[in-house]
Copies of this chain bind each other. A is one copy, B any other.
Amino acid sequence: MKTIKLIIADDHELFRNGLKELLKKYKDVNIVALVSNGEALFSQLKKHPNTDIVLLDITMPKMDGFQVLKQLKSLKLAIKPIIISMHDEGNYIAKCAKKGAYSYLLKNTDQEELIKAIRMVSLGKKYFGPKISEKMINYMSEQTISENILSKKEKEVLGLISEGLTTKEIATKLFVSTRTIETHRANVIKKLEVKNTAELIKKASEINLI
C-alpha cells in the first residue's frame, strides 16, 4: 500500500504538532514536514517534490493560505491542498474552492472526517462536507452585494468617508467636484441597501469593505 505523503502548514505550533500526533496512528499517512507559513511550505516542497497533500491553514504570517493556493495553481504542482480553518464563513469557503482547494475542513472536525478527507483527496477526489457546502451556497446569494458591486472609485470614497472626511474634503483630495462625491456616496448607499451614512459604515464594516 502506497503511503500518502503530506505536509502540515499551520502557524499554531500546538495545533501543528497535535495534528501530527493524531495522524501517527494512520499507517497510510506519512508526514514529511511541518511548516508554520507559506514560504516555508514552498521551500519544503522543493525538498519533497512528490508530496501528495498539504493540510493548509488560512491565517498564517508571511504568506497566507490564499496566497499559497494561488501560487500552487500557477505553478501547476501536483500537490493537493486541504484547507483546515476555523472560519466557517461562506466567504472563506468559496474563496478557497475557487482557488483550487480539494477540501475545506473546520478545526472542529473530528478525526474520522479528517482522515476520510485525506484519503479521498489522495485519490484525486474533492471533499466538501454537507455543512461546508451549505455555507457556500448561502454565501453565493449575498456575495453579489459586497465585493463585486462597488467600483474602485466607490470603494475609495467609502474608505475616505469612513475615516471621517466630509464630502467637500474628499472632493478636494480627489480633485473632483463635490457633486461627484455626493453621487458616489448616494450610489454606494443605494447599492448596499442602507438608509444613510451611519448604517452604511456599519454594513461596510460588517462585510469587510473597509
**Interface on A for B, CB 8 Å cutoff?**
11-15, 17-22, 36, 84, 86, 106-111, 114, 161-164, 166, 194-202, 205-206, 210
Contact = CB atoms under 8 A, between A and B. Distances in A.
B201 A202 contact: yes
9 contacts: A13-B109, A13-B111, A14-B110, A18-B21, A86-B86, A162-B201, A164-B194, A164-B195, A198-B200
B36 A161 contact: no
Contacts of A163: 199, 202
B197 A12 contact: no
Contacts of A11: 108
A6 to B, nearest CB: 14
Given A18-B18, A22-B17, A108 B12 contact: yes
A114 B14 contact: yes
A108 B202 contact: no
Contacts of A205: 201-202, 205-206
Complex A-B, nearest 10 residue pairs according to Cβ-Cβ distance, in ascending order: A18-B18, A164-B199, A21-B21, A164-B195, A12-B107, A201-B201, A205-B205, A12-B108, A162-B202, A13-B110
A14 B13 contact: no
A210 B86 CA distance: 23
Nearest to A105: B14
B111 A17 contact: yes
B107 A15 contact: yes
A122 to B, nearest CB: 18
A206 to B, nearest CB: 8
B198 A14 contact: no
B12 A22 contact: no
